[in-house]
Amino acid sequence: LDSDQLERQIERWIRPDIQRQKAYPVPSAAGLIKLDAMENPYIWPEDMRLAWADTLREVALNRYPSAAADELKADLRARFGLRAEYDLLLGNGSDEIIQLIMMAVSGPDRVVMAPQPGFVMFRMIAGFLHLDFVGVDLDANFELDMPKLLQTIEAEQPAVIFLAQPNNPTGNLWGTEQLRRVIEAAPGLVVIDEAYTAFTEADYLYLLDDYEHLLIMRTLSKVGLAGLRLGVLMGRPAWLEQIDKLRLPYNINVLTQASARFALDHYDVLAEQTARICSERERLYKALQALPLEKVWPSEANFLLVRTPEGRARAWFDQCRAEGVLVKCLDGSHPLLRDCLRLTVGTPEENAALLAALSTCPA
Ligand code: PMP
């Protein structure tokens, strides 16, 4: 076996931009309290897990899943209150839906836009598909920089604009009037990514009535089903029909379909857990004020963004990990995120451990 030859083959055949690209980083959380990925920290009550297992026993693993997933879609439609004139498209997480949308619009000189700092997969997937990604920086308060945004839309004519509401990793909502102005200025599709909608009063589904070129995306990940991988895209059937042609026929497996239907049938449990996360978020927000942090931003999501003393983010991250708590270090990922850490809201016990770990960090 000649490793030089293998390397030459890789160099020759794998796309140069992929060779240069770093894979999406997923650090090991073994033995750590995991507060880095916006998961719901709660599991289901024992009786509910037993009932779920009973449901799964009936699932036919020898058959392909329902390709249309009509029953699951009907349950989701009812849960979200989506009217009959709109359709749903399901993805293996909203990550897959982002990929499908971008595949549908990709082509030479096609541009995808999103405010920055934002969800990293918008930029990464655009790169995978040879789309030009244009990020438009938020202002210093993480609000949309309207003059710059409108000017960039005019200049770049983006095929798709992604707007995450609340935004990850800043945790805030932008004004509805600003969102409307962006949508009205957009020549192509606009996707409002409501991944964190369960943790805020805000909900933009109603905007579908006003804008033909708007799509709304949600996920079951943040309400406690991150392991299941189910994302949902909603909008006019004419758009979804086109995007659906790119979907692999059996992308939502039988276990996901059955489990998601079961979970939607027990949504009160998920809603109660979500409410607990929201009240913990407020408690954690207040408790963080007592630490020598430069800044703690308010949040409409299930995480909090904080700024450590200057130049300390990496040291605080390492110290938290040494104390058994994994958070996300965002320092270096964008100038506006200098010295920033993102803290997912956990259980009261996990948040106490986080606060204890943070209190040992160097000021
Ligand atoms: N959109 C945003 C804004 C996110 O933060 C995330 C998860 N970090 C996703 C989409 C992807 O979620 P999933 O693929 O788990 O549905």
Domains of the chain: 3-45+268-359 (3.90.1150.10), 60-266 (3.40.640.10)
Report pLDDT for 204: 98
**To test ligand 1's pocket by mutation, which of 92, 100, 221, 234 has the most ligand atoms within 8 angstroms of CB?**
221
Average of per-residue pLDDT across 130-145:
98
Neighbour-count burial of 44, counting CB atoms closer than 10 A to its CB (0-12 exposed, 13-18 middle, 19+ buried):
middle
Average of per-residue pLDDT across 117-145:
97
pLDDT tens readout for residues 58-79 = 999 999 999 999 999 999 999 9
**Whether the predicted pLDDT of 27 surpasses 80:** yes
Residue type, 227: G
Report pLDDT for 2: 84
Neighbour-count burial of 63, counting CB atoms closer than 10 A to its CB (0-12 exposed, 13-18 middle, 19+ buried):
exposed
Average of per-residue pLDDT across 168-189:
98
Which atom, in ligand 1's list, is nearest to the CA of 95?
Answer: 14
Average of per-residue pLDDT across 175-194:
98
Angle in degrees, CA 146, 160, 210, rounded to 5: 70
171 conformational bin, left if phi > 0, alpha if psi -120 to 50, beta if neither: left
pLDDT tens readout for residues 299-336 = 999 999 999 999 999 999 999 999 999 999 999 999 99
Is residue 276 very low, low, confident or very high in pLDDT (cuts 50, 70, 90)? very high
CA of 194 to the centre of ligand 1 (A): 9
For ligand 1, residues with CB inside 6 Å are 38, 93-95, 119, 164, 168, 193, 195, 219, 221, 226, 231
Q: Which residues contact 3 (CB under 8 A, 6 or more apart)?
A: none
Is residue 25 very low, low, confident or very high in pLDDT (cuts 50, 70, 90)? confident
Coil, helix or strand at residue 252 = coil
Here the ipTM equals 0.99
Average of per-residue pLDDT across 176-195:
98
Average of per-residue pLDDT across 207-221:
98
pTM of the model: 0.97
